[in-house]
Structure 1
């Protein structure tokens, strides 16, 4: 009798996990079973585009259920499928929401005419010429930038991020060789 209950419980658990994977309740763009079933994904940061917030070699945890019933906010650090190569995942910070006007000049960024306070941003050179301009974010899209603006391939270069490409909100650095562990700071 106990064996039958154990087998039944295992079948129900497996069916539930498969159902959650197929249904994808968090509507994540990831195919990773952890992201679709358990609500998180882990990544290793390969590049410098998010320094000083995230450093090369950092291991991060990102919550895929973060945008289940809400949308990304300005200042959120997110993972997403790169629009030009959807098999690659990127991490950037949300700077513009659908309908926003983003203007950049030098080291300053304005959102809807208001200068954004960005204490997390790093510039490598004070005199480096940077890509500036003005963009109006279309419906269903976001404008994202790396925190290390001099080395980041982001919305300035490849355009707007479709909502359907967003995977998760980065919550935590759980392992780092550079003493960078702890919660990831979000916000404007």
Structure 2
């Protein structure tokens, strides 16, 4: 379903363009000949209304001509520049909440065709700390959104809910980076987040040049037995293969991510989340006569760039 709207939009745009082209190539010359013949008979130039009455354009062709330019612009914008997404879950709290509507910059990493997703041009390199949308490796029809924790060659350890990172060694470098603890500090709880009835502890984490917030559930034990096991490493350790990335949710104990299902191939990346353009509260009571998907309010303070 993730690619369904892209395919549908592409097909509808191509059909509208084909109808417009066929009308302009074969039907329009016939209409012009009919109009010219009538003008010669009457020895006067006809206005647009008279021309349309004598040689009317078909309704389907007229509709295609009017909608094709709009569809074409939307297709280009959605396929290569920005695409809107809705945050469906709490896995990226507190950075993103369920009900946030975001814009994903499609050209952050590469330009791909909207149907087969073949790379047309490389435009950038994913960076550690980016929040990115990608195709879920277990089912590429689904779109996931998480934060990039590891890039190719990185060694990652997530032990006792503490993140350790050893960046990849650059060939030209005289000294390779050492394993480091990703620093985090408890932040002021101006807004408390919950997992069911449990208040979550809010930390500020420094991941390279990116400062962001994460949530930890103190009541949940480490889930190491459920982690994805990479051959040749400890149960809570991973080495990111070439051409792959390691993702984690900011809501660390409530996120299904690379810790559980492994790495994301680079060609599965869709783009980088850049802006929250709308945020709806979805706190409707189950007893409400309105459907659950109807918003209860707008979180205006959340609109803006994504960190």
> TM range, normalised to the smaller chain?
0.7 to 0.9
Q: In the alignment, what sits opposite 1:120?
A: 213
Residue in structure 2 matching 1:35, options 63, 78, 94: 78
Tell me the residue number matched to 1:67.
109
Aligned to 1:172: 275
Q: Provide the rounded CA distance (Å) in 2 between the counterparts of 1:54 and 1:109.
A: 21
Q: Deviations over 1:53-110 (max 9, x none)?
A: 0100100001011113221100000001101111110000000000100011122111
Kept in 2, the 8 Å contact 1:131–1:156? The answer is no
CA distance in 2, matches of 1:35, 1:111: 35
Q: CA deviation at 1:136?
A: 0.4
Q: How big is the shift at 1:34?
A: 3.8
Give a deviation string over 1:11-39, Cα, whole Å, max 9, x none: xx96xx59xxxxxxxxxxxxx764324x1
Residues of 1 paired with 2:159 and 2:82: CA distance?
36
Partner of 1:54: 96
* More RCO (CA 8 Å, sep 6+): 1
Superimposed CA distance per residue, residues 117-159 of structure 1 (whole angstroms, 9 cap, x where no aligned partner): 3241111x22421235110000010000000011100000010
- Cα distance in structure 2, aligned partners of 1:162 and 1:81: 9
Moved more, 62-71 or 50-59: 62-71
Q: Which residue number in structure 1 is paired with residue 304 of structure 2?
A: 182
Unaligned ranges ≥5, structure 1: 1-6, 19-31
Unaligned runs of 5+ in 2: 1-23, 26-64, 111-122, 167-178, 184-204, 206-211, 225-235, 281-298
In the alignment, what sits opposite 2:149? 95
Q: Which residue of 1 aligns with 2:289?
A: none
Which residue number corresponds to residue 78 of structure 1?
132
**Higher relative helix content:** 2
TM, length-normalised to structure 1: 0.78
Task: Let me know the Cα RMSD of the aligned residues.
Answer: 2.4
TM-score (norm 2): 0.49
From 131, 148, 154, the counterpart of 2:223: 131
Q: In the alignment, what sits opposite 2:158?
A: 104
The answer to whether the Cα contact below 8 Å between 1:52 and 1:122 also exists between their aligned partners in 2 is yes
Match of 2:116 in 1: none
- SS state of the match for residue 121, structure 1? strand
